[in-house]
Structure 1
Amino acid sequence: MGFFIRKRKNHFPVDGRTVVITGGSQGMGRGLAKLLAKKGSNVVIVARDVKKLQAAIEYISAAAANPQTQRFHYISADLTNPSESVRVIEEVTAWNNGQPPDIVWANAGTARPGLFVEIPIETLRAQMDANYWTATYLAHATLNCWLKPASAFPATEGPAPTLPRHFVITSSSLAFCGIAGYSAYSPAKAALRSLSDSLRSELNLYAGARRAKYGSAATAPPADIKIHSVYPGTILSPGHAAEEQSKHPVTKVLEEGDPAQTEDQVAAVAVRELEKGGYLISTQFLGSAMRASALQGSPRNNWFVDTVFSWATSIAWLFIGPDMEGKVYKWGKENGMTNAQ
């Protein structure tokens, strides 16, 4: 039977590598950090609240596969300030014996649901800051570090590392479908998808330069850089519990029956799909349907499955779209403009 079984290549090896995860003190970020600790990573988590970070790092380090060799660290930072992302990458590099992190996961974000006209302008801007700009600032700081030549960093013992570096962005399945009540949140998450596509395209320039027939290899980045984005749906977490407090009743109607995942479940699916080499990753079936129907120019993880799925969902949306709009119309007709819970 061994002849017929081909071991799948792991496109996202993490054992012995250093990983930075923002929003790592709770929810999906904490779940990711624990899972990667189990897989042998050195983990740095970033968030604002020091007490939550301390509790999370204790929880995460307890899951280490190799407690004698793995290392764990936390950094308190406000990533809505662009200089903080630069500081985080510099601090991690110093902590990592002068070498940049191998994987950076821009996972920080928060939702403040509500009807568009009822949301203060300050909240609209804050949602873009918390969800889009935190990831963008981190990407800018990380890529500026990673694209430096190897000579910019201390020499390491043995051969230079050749494994690709990975920058991962957590978006949301709402990037594929805007619904009533998420008009402050969905646009920021949709912008992250566009950022992912743009960075993925742009980084081919540097990958090509590393293999140029002419020129000095000393000026090229030491490793390829891979971009990925992850699109979870509902995650059962403290953040989700807070969202429920401000969520309009019609939003709850639209989300009724949507599947939910724990932080460990969403982390497991995201990492498994990264190991398969996925680029644009959904973490449950409903999100996969939404992703397939909105791929446009984004690369396919599996050209056959995604193409067939997109055909099926394009037909399904003929019924789903009007049904969702009808639910919002019906709620308004029966309840008026009240925001009563």
Structure 2
Amino acid sequence: MGFFSSKQHFPVEGRTVLLTGGSSGMGRALAKKLAEQGANVCIVARNQQKLDETIDYIKSHAKFPNQRFLAISADCTSATENTRILDETTTWNNSTPPDIIWANAGSSSPGLFIDTPLETHRAQMDMNYWSSFYLAHASLKLWLSPSSPQDKKEKEEAKRAEPRHFIITSSVVAFVGLAGYTPYAPAKAALKSLADSLRMELNLYSGSRQSSTHPSPTSEVKIHLVCPATILSPGYDAENETKHAVTKMLEEDDPKQTSEQVAEAALKGLRRGDYVITTQWLAHAMRVCALGGSPRNGWGIVDVLFGWVMGVAWLFIAPVLEGKVWRWGRDHGCASA
């Protein structure tokens, strides 16, 4: 898989994709690209008007005339709503669970830690961690439900079936903490830990599928974590309204991507079979610095070598960033701005 493999690890043509946060920004761009590649797509968001507009938009980019599209208005921060989303999608999909589920819902409300109301900290955790957690819990319970032992032919057919994929959108702030992102970054870091733990735990179910005597899931399940950086989108415009000036200063030279560029880079990483996917060079550097016990992509050689280089570079980069924040405080004070 990954760096040395030419196999397409993420075929979507004819498959059904459930995508939360699908009505704007990165989610809208993903829905369009999945439609272009022949997928049946269900998008989820709160605003019905935006959902309807996005459905019309992605229908116009469908690869085939018989592709199907569905919009569900729901609050992804509710556990019961995530169960409803899956129930409605499964019913719509001819009583078959979706093949690919992408937990993409999220929003950023940056600000200094002590200046941000506790209600906002809580809401950020609900939107950026619990929404993905609830969807993962409901999806994996559905996918991993064991079936009775099959005969040899059925077992072999199941082994050849394409795996299902659960994808979580996190952020590069899961790798490196920045001043002014304390309401947002902890939830995104928690998603990385959740993905790492789930990825290892799923080996239990994959191993059981090799048994001819024990009940086991009918399909293999893959976990992926997508960590974009700055995305030029309505969400980015909204977060800049509350973002502290010191945070804007730290980010001013960072490369920025459009929603389309991020969506294409994420899908390219999935086709390679990558586990942790970043979408531009700075994010790649941040990823290899912070992998810890996370699995490396491909055979791991590139990640290890790049990680050594960036480990040395970070000896110089980190003091520069912290020095910028210190000098900002000296020159401008610590008032919220």
The TM tier, using the shorter chain, reads over 0.9
Q: 1:308 aligned to 2:305?
A: yes
Pair 1:174-2:173 in alignment: yes
**For residues 179-328 of structure 1, what are the structure 2 equivalents within 5 Å?**
179-212=178-211, 214-216=212-214, 219-302=215-298, 303-328=300-325
1:170-205 CA distance string (max 9 Å, x none): 000010001100001001000000000000011110
What's 2:51 paired with? 53
Q: Deviations over 1:185-239 (max 9, x none)?
A: 0010000000000000111101000102x524xx311110000000000001110
Moved more, 322-331 or 161-170: 161-170
Q: Contact 2:5 / 2:272 at 8 angstroms: preserved in 1?
A: no
Stretches of structure 2 lacking an aligned partner (at least 5 in a row): 149-156
Secondary structure, aligned partner of 1:327: helix
Q: TM-score, normalised by structure 2?
A: 0.94
CA contact (8 A) 2:115 2:336 kept: no
Q: How many residues align?
A: 324
> 1:149 and 1:165 mapped to 2: Cα distance?
15
- Normalising by structure 1, what TM-score? 0.93
Could you list the structure 1 runs, at least 4 aligned residues long, displaced by more than 6 angstroms after superposition: none
User: Could you tell me how far 1:338 is from its partner in structure 2?
Assistant: 2.5
Task: Answer yes or no: is the 8 Å Cα contact 2:165–2:223 preserved in 1.
Answer: yes
Show the counterpart of 1:26: 24
Q: How far has the Cα of 1:256 moved from its partner?
A: 1.1
- CA deviation after TM superposition for structure 1 residue 339, in Å: 2.6
Corresponding position of 1:10: 8
Deviation at 1:150, TM superposition (A): 5.5
Q: Tell me, in whole angstroms, the C-alpha distance in 1 between the residues paired with 2:232 and 2:60.
A: 22
Q: Give the alignment partner of residue 138 of structure 1, picking from 135, 140, 143.
A: 135
Q: Provide the C-alpha distance between the structure 2 equivalents of 1:221 and 1:8, rounded to a whole number of angstroms.
A: 27
State the secondary structure of the residue aligned to 2:264. Answer: helix
* One-letter identity of the residue aligned with 2:59: S
Gaps of 5+ in 1: 1-5, 152-158
Report how far residue 149 of structure 1 moved: 3.9
Instruction: Please give the per-residue CA displacement for 1:284-316, whole angstroms capped at 9, x wherever unaligned.
Output: 100000000111111111311101110011111
Cross-structure match for 2:85:
88
| Counterpart AA for 2:41 | V
- Amino acid of the structure 2 residue aligned with 1:207: S
Alpha carbon RMSD of aligned pairs, Å? Answer: 1.3
Counterpart amino acid of residue 43 in structure 2: I
Asked whether the 8 Å contact 2:18–2:43 carries over to 1, the reply is yes
2:154 corresponds to = none
- The AA in structure 2 aligned to 1:54 is D
- What's 1:35 paired with? 33
Q: 159-168 or 43-52: which moved more?
A: 159-168
1:45-98 deviations in Å (ceiling 9; x for gaps): 00000001001111111110002x100000000011100111101110000001
Give the letter aligned to residue 32 of structure 2: K
Q: Which amino acid aligns with 2:235?
A: G
Cα distance, 1:337 vs structure 2: 1.9
SS in 2 for 1:21: strand
Q: 1:118 aligns with which of 115, 120, 140?
A: 115
CA distance in 2, matches of 1:150, 1:24: 32
Query: AA paired with 1:198?
Result: S
Aligned-pair CA distance for 1:332 = 0.6
What one-letter code is carried by the residue in structure 2 that aligns with 1:131?
N
Distance 1:162 1:189 in 2: 32
One-letter identity of the residue aligned with 1:203: L
CA distance in 2, matches of 1:11, 1:80: 30
Structure 2 match to 1:3: none
Quick one: which amino acid aligns to residue 244 of structure 2? H
1:163 partner amino acid: E
1:154 matched residue in structure 2: none
What's the counterpart of residue 151 of structure 2? none
Determine the structure 2 residue equivalent to 1:147: 144
Quote the Cα distance in structure 1 between the aligned partners of 2:125 and 2:336: 24
8 Å CA contact retained: 2:7, 2:272? yes
Distance of 1:173 and 1:226 partners within structure 2: 21
